[in-house]
């Protein structure tokens, strides 16, 4: 027979046992050194760009070896996304062709994206010089820079993309 005293005792045990259990001790606190390899953001103004340099002439070899199998010869997009063409196609009444040259507002976005995600089978594997070179090659294919123009942390943010003014700024107000 259950008495009020037994019910109260059981309730105390059921409430107390979880409170006595230790919390799991998974992993360890993250340190600045743990975060550093992943803290690679490049902003539109060039903040975060590493030292290095490259030209389109140097980038062609990098592209052929590490990008062409997915993005096609000269960025044609066969079999995957095209990187070249479509400049001016975002105007009203046309079918937009969104490529690096036609759509992206900042050249630093190209560098940042390639740095993080490419090549597909080995992301974050390109050296800074390879990144600047392949970025220069793609920008050159789009007619945005010359084949001998040098890209580095100073010149890349100054590249004026055709669609730079095609985006409406979104004021980020956390309140």
Whole-prediction pTM value?
A: 0.78
Average pLDDT over residues 12-40: 76
Per DSSP, the residues of 34-76 read: HHGGG-----TT-TTPPS-EE-HHHHHHHHHHHTHHHH-GGG-
pLDDT score of 16: 54
Of the candidates 131, 116, 119, 111, the one whose C-alpha atom is nearest the C-alpha of residue 80 is 119
The domains found in the chain, sorted by start residue, are 50-166 (1.10.760.10)
Whether 7 shows a pLDDT value over 90: the answer reads no
pLDDT of residue 91: 81
Q: What confidence tier does 25 reach under pLDDT thresholds 50, 70, 90?
A: confident
Where do the H-state alpha helices sit in the chain?
4-20, 32-35, 56-66, 68-71, 107-117, 128-141
Overall average pLDDT of the 119-137 stretch: 96
Burial class (CB in 10 A: 0-12, 13-18, 19+), 125: exposed
- In tens, the pLDDT along 39-78 reads 889 999 999 999 999 999 999 999 999 999 999 999 998 8
- What's the gap between Cα 146 and its chain centre? 25
Q: According to the model, what pLDDT value does residue 160 have?
A: 97
pLDDT at 126: 97
The pLDDT of residue 8: 60
């Amino acid at each position: 027979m259950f008495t009020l005293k037994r019910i109260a005792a059981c309730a105390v045990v059921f409430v107390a046992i979880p409170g006595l259990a230790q919390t799991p001790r998974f992993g360890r606190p993250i340190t600045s050194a743990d975060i550093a390899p992943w803290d690679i953001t490049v902003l539109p103004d060039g903040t975060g760009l590493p030292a290095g340099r490259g030209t389109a002439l140097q980038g062609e070899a990098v592209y052929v070896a590490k990008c062409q199998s997915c993005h096609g010869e000269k960025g044609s997009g066969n079999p995957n996304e095209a990187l070249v063409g479509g400049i001016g196609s975002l105007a009203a009444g046309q079918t937009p062709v969104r490529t690096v040259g036609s759509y992206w507002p900042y050249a630093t976005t190209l560098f940042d994206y390639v740095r993080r995600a490419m090549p597909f089978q080995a992301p974050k594997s390109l050296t800074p010089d390879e990144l600047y070179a392949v970025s220069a090659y793609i920008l050159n294919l789009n007619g945005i820079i010359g084949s001998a123009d040098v890209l580095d942390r100073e010149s890349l943010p100054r590249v004026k993309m055709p669609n730079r003014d095609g985006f409406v700024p979104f004021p980020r107000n956390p309140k």
